[in-house]
Amino acid sequence: MIERLCIIGVGLIGGSLARALRVAGFCKEVVGSGRNPDHLQQAADLGVIDRYDTDPARAVAGADMVVVAVPLGAMESVFSAIRSHLADHTVLTDAGSAKGSVIEAVQRAFGSLPDFFVPGHPIAGTEQSGVSASFPELYRDRRVILTPAESTDAEATARVRAMWEAAGAYVTEMTAVHHDAVLAATSHLPHVLAYTLVDSLARLSDRDEVFEYAAGGFRDFTRIASSDPVMWRDICLANGDAIELLIDRFIEDLQVLKGVVHAHDGEKLLEIFTSAKQARDRYIKK
C-alpha cells in the first residue's frame, strides 16, 4: 500500500498509473505536479489526483513513492528540483523510455546514483497524450521493465515492482544497457519509421490524393506517428547510438529488397514476405 504517491508529469502514463492504483485500492493519496496548472486542475477534476502543486519540491513532501513521468529532456531538471526534498523513506522511480539517459540525469542531479532510485519503463501507451487520454486498464497484462543497478536497494525495487503489479502489469528486470538495445528495436525504430514515412509522403506533390486514398493498412502502420513529437525527439536524442545502428541495418535490408524488386525476383520476394509473416504470427500468438 502506498500512503502518498507523487506523480510528476500527470499525462497518459502517469495518469493511467494513478487511475489503476486507485481501482486496485493500492494508494491512499495521489499528489500531482507539472508545469501547467490547467492540466493539473483537469487531472484533479477527473479524479486522477487528489491535489497538486506546480513546484515539484513541494509536491514530493512526505511522499513514500515518487514517479517521474516527464519527457526525457526534462528529467534532470526535475531530479535537481526534488533532490533535497525527499523524505528518508521515499522511493524514487521513473517511466522513461531510455534508461541510460535517465540514470545519467539522476547521477548529475544527485552527484551519484541513490540506492532508493529504481529506473523503470512501462511498455504500454497509445498515440494519444494528456491526462484526458489516461485509463486504468493501460497496464493490464503489459510488461514493465525495471533496470536497478547493483547499488539499488532491494526493498526499493520490491516496492516499485509491487506498485506496477498492483496496476496489472508483468514486471521483469534487466540491465539498462540491454533495455535500451531491446527497446531501440521494438519501439524506437518503429516510431522513427512511421514518422519518416508520413513525413516523406506529406512532401509529395500529390500528397493530398495520396492521403485521400490511404487505406486501413496505412492507418494501422502509421498510427504511432500521431504520438507526442517532443517525447520522441527526446527518445531519439537519448538513445541515438542504439537507434542509429538499427537504422543502418534497416537501410541495408531495404537496399536488398530494392534489388530484389528491381530484379523482378518473385521467389525471393515470397521468401522475404513469408518469413516476415511467420515471425509476426509467432509474436502475436505468443
Give the pLDDT of residue 209: 83
Residue ending a domain, choose from 174, 195, 219: 174
Range of the domain at 63: 2-174
Q: What are the C-alpha distances in Å from 274 to residues 234, 246, 267, 280, 286?
A: 35, 22, 10, 10, 18
**Residue 191 is part of a domain; what is its CATH number?**
1.10.3660.10
Q: Are 75 and 158 within one domain? A: yes
What pLDDT is stored for residue 215 in this prediction?
A: 79
pLDDT band at 109 (very low <50, low <70, confident <90, very high): very high
Q: Which cell numbers hold the place of 261?
A: 524488386
Picking from 144, 174, 204, the residue at the C-terminal end of a domain is: 174
At 125 the pLDDT is 83
Q: Are residues 189 and 163 in the same domain?
A: no
What is the pLDDT, as a whole number, of residue 274? 97
Q: What integer best gives the mean pLDDT of the chain?
A: 95
286: pLDDT strictly greater than 80? no
Q: What is the pLDDT of residue 60?
A: 98
**CATH number of the CATH domain containing 127:** 3.40.50.720
| Mean of pLDDT values over 198-222 | 85
Euclidean distance between CA atoms 223 and 195, whole angstroms: 9
- 9 torsion bin: left (phi>0), alpha (psi -120 to 50), beta (else): left
Q: What is the pTM of this model?
A: 0.88
Tally of domains within the chain: 2
State the burial class of residue 54 (Cβ atoms within 10 Å of its Cβ: 0-12, 13-18, 19+). Answer: middle
- Say whether both 44 and 155 belong to one domain: yes
Answer yes or no: do 110 and 163 share one domain: yes
